[in-house]
Structure 1
């Protein structure tokens, strides 16, 4: 199991990649962070792919499709 520090680094990298993919939009950091946590958990098979407190299971990577624009 990855350490908390290494998990945070990986989640940060995933969130950054999502942000870059979406054209570096302002004000969506929380959305990217939460999506990155789901992706990381799925990749690491933690709690069946669910981040802490989340009851949904993402079966596809968020990186494979853009997040909805909530402006």
Structure 2
């Protein structure tokens, strides 16, 4: 799956604002231990705190389902 398609579920989150990727596509990922090893950041923004929390939980489920294997 092309990387742009792999990130589509993240971009579809209702409170998605932006995303910064710190590594090029197809870069092997090591376990994040600090901000220097963080593969990227997703910014969620909404006036509805419950929506942000729901989207955060959905993002964590996407990670558990293999988001990084598809996106990187």
**Normalising to structure 1: TM-score of the pair?**
0.31
Greater per-residue strand proportion: 2
- Greater Cα radius of gyration, structure 1 or 2: 2
**Normalising to structure 2: TM-score of the pair?**
0.31
- Which structure's relative contact order is higher, taking Cα pairs within 8 Å and 6+ residues apart? 2
